Structure 1
Amino acid sequence: MKLKAVTAVVAALTLAACGGEQPKEVAAEVPHGYVEGAEEAAEAQSRLIVADTETGAVRVVDLITEEVHETGQVDGVRALATDGRFGYLTARDGTARVIDSGAWMVDHGDHVHYYRAKVRDVGVAPGKQPLTVYSDPAVSALSYSDGTTTLLDRAKLDKGSVAELGKITREPHAGVAIPYGEHILASVADPGKPLARGVRVHDRQGKAVAEIPEPCPDLQGQAVTRRGVVFGCADGALLVSEKDGAFTGAKIPYPRSVTAQERATAFFQRPGGATLAARAGETAAWSLDVGRRSWQYVETGPVAAVNAVGEGGPLLALTRDGMLRSFDGNGKEQAAIPLLTSEAATAGGPSIHIDTTRAYINDPRSADVYEIDYNDNLRRARTLKVGGKAGLVVETGR
C-alpha cells in the first residue's frame, strides 16, 4: 500500500514561535523566529525527497540550486510521506526511516519564516508500516493499521533524534491522527469495523477529552487546511475546526448520491490550501472548496494523479494517456500538454506536488521530475535530473 503523502500548514511548523522562549545567552542577538542551527531565508527553500523504488536510494534535491544530496538507502522502499520537513520512508520490512530534508517554514499567520539546514538521516521511527504522518510544533503523529498512533517529540526530532511521547490506542482500523489546535484529532471505529465512524479529540499525551458529535461513516481521507481539518466520509466530508479551545464539526454533503467507487477517499492539496482534489472513481475528480463548503465534479478522463492549486486556482490532473491537464473552478479544461508516456503514467508512482508558483510531477520510470508553471498554460519550466529513478517524491519547505 502506498503511504499517503500528507502535507499541511501545521506540519511545516517548528517549535520556534514569535515571542517564544529562546536561549538566554542569545536571546538578545538572534533574529525574530530564530531556529537553532538553521539559516533563515527570504523565500521558501523548497526541496524534494526522492526515493528510487528499484535500488532504495534516497536523495534530497534542492529546488533553488538543483544540488542533489545522496541520503543513504532504504531497502525495498515502498512508501514515502512528509510532514513538511521530514520524509518518512517505509522499507520492505515495514520500518519507517526518517530523513530531515533541511527545509521548512514557520507560519505565524500574518507572516512566514523560511529556513534551511543540512540534510540528515534522523533514524528509524517506532512501529511498523505507518499509514499517515502529521505534525505540529510539539508532536509528530504516526498512525498504523492496528488503530494505534505513536506520538513523537517534535522538539527532539527537530534536533535529530527520535523520542516517543505517548500513544493513542483504539479499536483496530485503518486510522488517522492529526495534531491540531494543541490537541490530536483521531479517528474512532466500532468493534470489528475496518473503517472509522467519526472523530475524537485527544490531548497531546493521548488522553481522550471530547468527541465530535457529527458522524463520519467509513472515514477515509483527510487534509489540514487554514479553515480546519477535513475528513472524507461516505456521505461527504466532515470539517472540524477549533476556536478558543472548543472543537466543532460541520458536514459538507455531496451534491448528489454517490457510489462507493465515486466517493473521495484521499485528498490532495497545496499545503494549507482550502481547495482539495480527490479522485471520483477512475475517470473523474472532485474539487472540494472548503471555504464555500461545496463540491465540484470534474470530468477529467482516466486519472493517474490529481491535485489542487487552491482558492481561485486550477485543478491539475495527470491522465493515464500521460497528458497533464488543468481545469477551472467550473470544471472546464483550460490547458493540456503531453508530459509522460502512457506506460509511465500507469506504472504507479507518478504524483503531483504543488506550491505557490509551481507544480512538480515525477516520471517513475526515469530520473526526471518536471517543474510546471501552472499559471502559464502548464509551461514546462524545468526538467530536474534527480539521479536514479524518481519512483516516489514529496516536496518540503513550503
Structure 2
Amino acid sequence: MKLKAVTAVVAALTLAACGGEQPKEVTADVPHGYVEGAEEAAEAQSRLIVADTETGAVRVVDLITEKVHETGQVDGVRALTGDGRFGYLTGRDGAVRVIDSGAWMVDHGDHVHYYRAKVRDVGMAPGQRPLAAYSDPAVSALSYPDGTTTLLDRAQLDKGSVAELGKITREPHAGVAIPYGGHVLASVAEPGKPLARGVRVHNRQGKAVAEIEQPCPDLQGQAVTRRGVVFGCADGALLVTEKDGAFTGAKIPYPRSVSAQERATAFFHRPGGATLAARAGETAVWSLDVGRRSWQYVETGPVAAVNAVGEGGPLLALTRDGTLRSFDGSGKEQTAIPLLTPEATAADIPSIQVDTTRAYVNNPLSADVYEIDYNDNLRRARTLKVGGKAGHIVETGR
C-alpha cells in the first residue's frame, strides 16, 4: 500500500510537470509515458536480466527487493542485448527471444518518469542473430548482419506482443539503426564492403528521407547520448544531432593517427551519459567526452570490460587479471580492487553495467553479480546471488 500511495502522488506531480506534452489518447488522470498495467515510482526501478550460458535459464533480478524472477529458457544462449526495458536473447539456433524486464524510464530531458510492471516472456522476434537493439517510445529497431533492420511497434511490445512497423534494407554489412528524433538513423554501406561508410535518415516505416553529409568510413560502434547519437569511424567519431526536424553530423577526430587495432569499435556508457568508454586495442581505453568533443587515451593494462559513469565520474575498467580499476578525468588510476579470477575474465563475457549510483559486474563462473559503489573507492556494496551462472547481464530501468 505504501508504494501505491507514493505512486499516486508522483503520478499527479509528474502529470502537472508535463503540461501539454501528453499524447491525445492520454487523459488527465494518466501521467505522460504511462503504459497500461504499470505503476509509476519516485525512483529508478532498476533490474538485471541475467542469462545462464550453460543451462539457458533466464532470470530477472529486482535490484530494490533482490527478488529473482525465473523467466524461461533460451537454449544455448550466446548473446544478450538490451534497450533499457527489453532484453533480446540469441540462442544457439540464432533465433531471438524477447524478455520484458518490467522496468523502464521515460526521459523528457528536464524530468524523468520511472515505471515498473510484471516481468514476462514476450516471445520470439523476427530475424536471426541481432547485432544491436535500440528503442524510443514508438519504435524498437533490431539490426542484423545481413544489413537489414526490423522496426517493431514499441506500443505492442509494451502490451506483450511482437508486431512489425517496417523494415530497413540496404547493402549487406555489419550495420546498425537507431531511433532518434522521430526518425531512424541507419548505417549505409557501399556494394561489397563489409563496413558502413556513413549514416542515412529514415522515417519510422523504414523509408529513406535524408543522408548525413559528413562521412563515417568503416563505421563500427554507436551510442545514444543526450547530446546526440555517436558513431565510431576510422578517423574519429561522428556526432549526429537533430533540431526542428533537421539532422546534421559533426566529426570528432582522434587527437593523433590511430591504427585499425587502436580505434574505438564499441562504446559503453551510462544511459544518457555524454562520456563514452571504448577499448583502444588490448591494453588501453579511449574516453570520449561528447560535450567537449575530445578524446583521451588511458593506459589501463589488458582489458576485459570497460564503462564510463559520465561527466565528472570515473572511467571503469576490468582488467584481465580480474581487477576492477577506476580512473579520473585526467586518466590517472584512482582505485583498484580484486574482483574476479583471471579464469572468469577469459570467457570474454563479464560486463560492467552502470547507473547513476552503482556499477554491476557479473561473474560468469558463478551465480554472483557484484554491486559496486564507484563513488566510494569501488566499495563492494552487495553480492547478488542470481542462481545458476551469471553468464550475460544487462541492466534495465535506468
Q: Sort the TM-score into its range (normalised by shorter chain).
A: over 0.9
Closer, same or farther: CA 170–349 of 1 in aligned 2, 3 Å: same
C-alpha distance in 2 between matches for 1:21 and 1:383:
45
Could you give the per-residue CA deviations for residues 97-152 of structure 1, whole angstroms, max 9, x where no partner exists?
A: 00000000111111111110000000100011111111111111111111111000
The offset of 1:271, in angstroms, is 0.3
Q: Shift of the alpha carbon at 1:37? A: 0.7
Partner in structure 1 of residue 222 of structure 2: 222
Partner of 2:224, secondary structure, is strand
Contact in 2 for aligned 1:239/1:250 (Cα 8 Å)? yes
Please give the per-residue CA displacement for 1:30-59, whole angstroms capped at 9, x wherever unaligned: 345533110111000000000000000000
Q: Which residue of 1 aligns with 2:168?
A: 168
- 1:251-281 deviation digits (Å, cap 9, x = unpaired): 0000000110000000000001000000000
Matches of 1:228 and 1:33, distance apart in 2? 21
> Residue 208 of structure 1 aligns to which amino acid in structure 2?
A
Percent of paired sites with the same residue: 87
Q: Which protein is richer in helix relative to its size?
A: 2
Aligned to 2:48: 48
How do 1:300-379 residues align onto structure 2 when only pairs under 5 Å count?
Answer: 300-379=300-379
Cα pair 1:325 1:337 within 8 Å, conserved: yes
Checking the alignment, whether the CA contact within 8 Å between 1:354 and 1:360 is kept in structure 2 is: yes
Structure 1: distance between partners of 2:164 and 2:127: 11
Give the 3 Å change call, closer, same or farther, for CA 191–31 of structure 1 in structure 2.
Answer: closer
Structure 2 Cα separation of the partners of residues 28 and 141 of structure 1: 31
Flag the structure with more relative contact order, 1 or 2, with Cα contacts below 8 A and sequence separation at least 6: 1
State the alpha-carbon separation in 1 of the partners of residues 77 and 34 from structure 2: 35
> AA paired with 2:311?
E
Aligned residues: 380
Provide the C-alpha distance between the structure 2 equivalents of 1:322 and 1:35, rounded to a whole number of angstroms.
Answer: 41
* Aligned residue among 10, 21, 26 for 2:24: 21
- Residue 86 of structure 1 pairs with residue 86 of structure 2: yes
Q: Does 1:179 align with 2:179?
A: yes
Aligned to 2:122: 122
* Contact 2:74 2:97 (C-alpha < 8 Å) held by counterparts: yes
2:312 is paired with a residue whose SS is: coil
In the other structure, the counterpart of 2:151 is 151
After superposition, the CA RMSD in angstroms is 1.1
SS in structure 1 opposite 2:157? helix
Q: Counterpart amino acid of 1:258?
A: V
Whether the aligned pair in 1 keeps the contact of 2:23 and 2:32 (CA below 8 Å) is no
For residue 344 of structure 2, give the secondary structure of its aligned residue in structure 1.
helix
| Distance in 1, Cα, partners of 2:103 & 2:393 | 15
Write the distance in 2 (CA, Å) between the matches of 1:64 and 1:295: 36
Task: Name the counterpart of 1:193.
Answer: 193
The aligned amino acid for 2:142 is: L
Provide TM-score, normalisation by structure 1: 0.94
CA distance, structure 1, for counterparts of residue 30 and residue 179 of structure 2:
29
Q: Secondary structure at the match of 2:70?
A: strand
Residue 166 of structure 1 aligns to which amino acid in structure 2?
G
